[in-house]
Chain A
Amino acid sequence: MRKQQEALRIHRVTLFGKQYESAQVRAAVVLLVPTMIAIILLFIIPVIQVVSYSFTNYNIATGIKKYNGIANYKHLFTDDRFFKAIRNTFTFAAFKLLIDTTLALSIALMLDARIPLKKYLRSVYFAPVVVPVVASSLIWIWFFDPGIGPFNQVLSALGLPTSQWLYHEKSALGSILMFSIWKGLGYNIVLFLAGLQNIPPSYIEAAQVDGAKGYQILFRIRLPLLRPIISFVLMIGIINTFKVFAEVNVMTPKGGPLYSTALMVNYIYDTAFTSGKMGRACSASIILFIIIFILTLIQTRLDTSKSITME
Chain B
Amino acid sequence: MASLRKKINIPVFLFLLAGSVVMIFPFVWMIFSSFKTVADVYTYPPKWLPSSWKFTNYKKVFQMIPFGRYYFNSIFTSVAQTAIQLALSVTAAYALVVLNFPGRKFLYTLIRSTMFVPTVVTLIPLYLLVSKAGMIDTYAGIILPQVLSAFTIFLLVSFFSSIPTILFDSAKLDGCGYYRILSEVVIPNSKSSISTAMLFAFLGHWKSYTWPLIVTNKAIYRTLPIGMKYLVQESSSEYQIMMAAAVMAILPVLIVYLFFEKQLVQSITLTGLKA
User: A111, A114, A148: which contacts B16 (Cβ < 8 A)?
Assistant: A111
B110-149 interface bits toward A, Cβ cutoff 8 Å, 1 = contact, 0 = none: 1100101111111111111100000000000000010110
**Which residues in B have their C-beta under 8 angstroms from that of A187?**
268
Which residues in chain A, 254-271, are within 8 Å of chain B measured between CB atoms?
265, 268-269
**Which residues in B have their C-beta under 8 angstroms from that of A50?**
121-122, 124-125
In the complex, the number of residue pairs spanning A and B with C-beta atoms less than 8 Å apart equals: 291
Rounded to whole angstroms, the CA-CA distance of A45 and B120 in the bound complex is 14
**Which residues in B have their C-beta under 8 angstroms from that of A120?**
20
How many of chain B's residues touch chain A, expressed as a range?
A: 35 or more
Rounded to whole angstroms, the CA-CA distance of A48 and B123 in the bound complex is 12
B144-156 interface bits toward A, Cβ cutoff 8 Å, 1 = contact, 0 = none: 0101100001000
Are A32 and B91 interface neighbours, CB within 8 A? yes
**Which residues in B have their C-beta under 8 angstroms from that of A134?**
207, 209, 224-226, 228-229, 249
Which of the 9-residue segments A34-42, A80-88, A92-100 touches chain B? A34-42
Rounded to whole angstroms, the CA-CA distance of A49 and B127 in the bound complex is 11
A191-213 interface bits toward B, Cβ cutoff 8 Å, 1 = contact, 0 = none: 10011001000000100110000
Chain B residue at minimum C-beta to C-beta distance from A53? B125
B166 at interface (Cβ–Cβ under 8 A)?
Answer: no
Are A195 and B24 interface neighbours, CB within 8 A? no
User: B101, B122, B225, B245: which contacts A46 (Cβ < 8 A)?
Assistant: B122
Are B107 and A32 interface neighbours, CB within 8 A? yes
A289 at interface (Cβ–Cβ under 8 A)?
Answer: yes
**Which residues in B have their C-beta under 8 angstroms from that of A138?**
228, 231-232, 242-243, 245-246
Are A140 and B26 interface neighbours, CB within 8 A? yes
A308 at interface (Cβ–Cβ under 8 A)?
Answer: no
Are B20 and A114 interface neighbours, CB within 8 A? no
A34 and B88 in contact (CB under 8 A), knowing A110-B12, A232-B273? Answer: yes
B250 at interface (Cβ–Cβ under 8 A)?
Answer: yes
A234 at interface (Cβ–Cβ under 8 A)?
Answer: no
Rounded to whole angstroms, the CA-CA distance of A147 and B106 in the bound complex is 58
**Which residues in A have their C-beta under 8 angstroms from that of B16?**
107, 110-111, 115, 121
**Which residues in B have their C-beta under 8 angstroms from that of A269?**
210, 214
Are B92 and A31 interface neighbours, CB within 8 A? yes
A113 at interface (Cβ–Cβ under 8 A)?
Answer: yes
A88 CB to closest chain B CB (Å) equals: 16
A31 and B95 in contact (CB under 8 A), knowing A138-B228, A288-B120? Answer: yes
Rounded to whole angstroms, the CA-CA distance of A242 and B121 in the bound complex is 11
A122-157 interface bits toward B, Cβ cutoff 8 Å, 1 = contact, 0 = none: 111111101111111011111101001010011001
A64 at interface (Cβ–Cβ under 8 A)?
Answer: no
Are A133 and B117 interface neighbours, CB within 8 A? no
**Which residues in B have their C-beta under 8 angstroms from that of A20?**
100-102
**Which residues in B have their C-beta under 8 angstroms from that of A115?**
8-9, 12-13, 16
B54-80 interface bits toward A, Cβ cutoff 8 Å, 1 = contact, 0 = none: 000000000000000000000000000
A45 and B129 in contact (CB under 8 A), knowing A25-B101, A253-B233, A265-B120? Answer: yes
Chain A residue at minimum C-beta to C-beta distance from B269? A194
User: A27, A132, A135: which contacts B179 (Cβ < 8 A)?
Assistant: A27
A127 and B265 in contact (CB under 8 A), knowing A24-B99, A53-B125? Answer: no
A-B CB contact pairs (8 Å), 28 listed: A21-B100, A23-B177, A25-B101, A35-B148, A39-B111, A43-B117, A46-B126, A46-B129, A47-B121, A49-B128, A49-B129, A117-B13, A121-B20, A127-B27, A130-B257, A131-B207, A134-B225, A135-B245, A182-B23, A190-B269, A239-B118, A243-B119, A246-B225, A268-B124, A269-B214, A278-B124, A288-B120, A288-B121
Q: Beyond the given A42-B126, A190-B269, could you list 5 further A-B residue pairs with CB under 8 A, ordered by the A residue number?
A: A23-B178, A27-B178, A110-B9, A125-B23, A136-B246
- Chain A residues in contact with chain B, CB under 8 A? 3-4, 7-8, 15-16, 18, 20-21, 23-25, 27-29, 31-32, 34-36, 38-39, 41-43, 45-47, 49-50, 53, 60, 107, 110-111, 113-117, 120-128, 130-136, 138-143, 145, 148, 150, 153-154, 157, 182, 185-187, 190-191, 194-195, 198, 205, 208-209, 229, 232, 236, 239, 242-243, 245-246, 249-250, 253, 265, 268-269, 272-273, 278, 281-282, 285-286, 288-289, 292-293, 296
